[in-house]
Amino acid sequence: MGRLIGGTALLAVALVMVVGFLRSGADPLALRTLVALFIAAGLPAAGGGLLLARHLGLGRRIEHRREALRRDTFEAEILRMAGREGGRLTAVEVAGELAVPVDLAEGFLNEFMAREMAEIEITDSGLLVYNFHDVRHLAEKESARGLLDS
């Protein structure tokens, strides 16, 4: 609420300054007048606009898009790693390669599992291995045929 009130107040100050400038009879092309107008009206208008934009959620939308891009980049890197590693990865490998905490790597791998892009397997020693079936069988794509072909 403070951003809304502050932004509106700054825009009102800028408007009053512009109206005062127009009624003052000062030379509008003089450098001194333009600098004074910029300081007295331009800066408050810019600050008020910024406060109103933040109030309306502009920053949150940008942050949300940035987070989505970050997530998509991590997922693409994990799939690229799976291709290099024969379609099988562990959380420790992902964490080491991407320089992220193991918990975050496990979270990404579990998302792949939830979307049925990976299956989880366990070794005799208890190591969790994420198996990317489609990545493991990418070499077979050349022999693909139509669904109705026998």
Local confidence band at 150 (pLDDT 50, 70, 90 cut-offs): low
Q: Alpha carbon of 73 to those of 26, 31, 70, 100: distances in Å?
A: 56, 49, 5, 13
pLDDT greater than 90 at residue 22: no
CA distance 121 to 137: 17
pLDDT greater than 70 at residue 7: yes
- What pLDDT digit, counting tens, does each position of 89-112 carry? 999 999 999 999 999 999 999 999
- Helical axes 58-84 vs 102-114, angle rounded to 10°: 80
Among left, alpha and beta (phi > 0; psi -120 to 50; other), residue 134 is alpha
Query: Picking from 32-41, 47-56, 57-66, which range would have the lowest pLDDT averaged per residue?
Result: 57-66
pLDDT greater than 90 at residue 79: yes
Task: Evaluate whether 134 touches 142 at the Cβ level (below 8 Å).
Answer: no
Amino acid at 75: E
pLDDT greater at residue 12 or residue 27: 12
- What pLDDT digit, counting tens, does each position of 61-71 carry? 777 888 899 99
pLDDT greater than 80 at residue 134: yes
What is the percent of the chain with per-residue pLDDT over 90, rounded to a whole number?
43
Neighbours of 51 (CB within 10 A): 20
Q: What is the mean pLDDT of the chain?
A: 88
